[in-house]
Amino acid sequence: MNNEPSLNHIDDYHELKGMKRKVVWAVILAGLLIGVIYTTVNYLYGTPSDAISVDKTTGGIPLK
């Protein structure tokens, strides 16, 4: 008496059909589009050309 649901009882478990297929493709394409936009913006604006370089380093932490 196993009353727990399993994925094998779902009709389209082994293949995507209909609306589920469209949703999966939409999520994949949205992820790729967001990745392309992020990469482009990071490439164009990621490293500022007018950054101030800091050459002074501290020798140690002062103790009281």
What would the pLDDT profile of 13-64 be if each residue is shown by its tens digit?
667 778 888 998 999 999 999 999 999 999 988 877 777 777 777 777 777 7
Residue-level pLDDT at 31: 97
CB within 8 Å of 18: residues ≥ 6 apart: 12
How far apart, in whole angstroms, are the C-alpha atoms of residue 43 and residue 40?
5
- Whether residue 10 is predicted with pLDDT greater than 80 in this model: the reply is no
Domain residue extents for the chain: 16-45
CA 25-45-39 angle, 5° bins: 20
How far apart, in whole angstroms, are the C-alpha atoms of residue 1 and residue 11?
22
Q: Is the pTM of this model over 0.85?
A: no
Burial class (CB in 10 A: 0-12, 13-18, 19+), 63: exposed
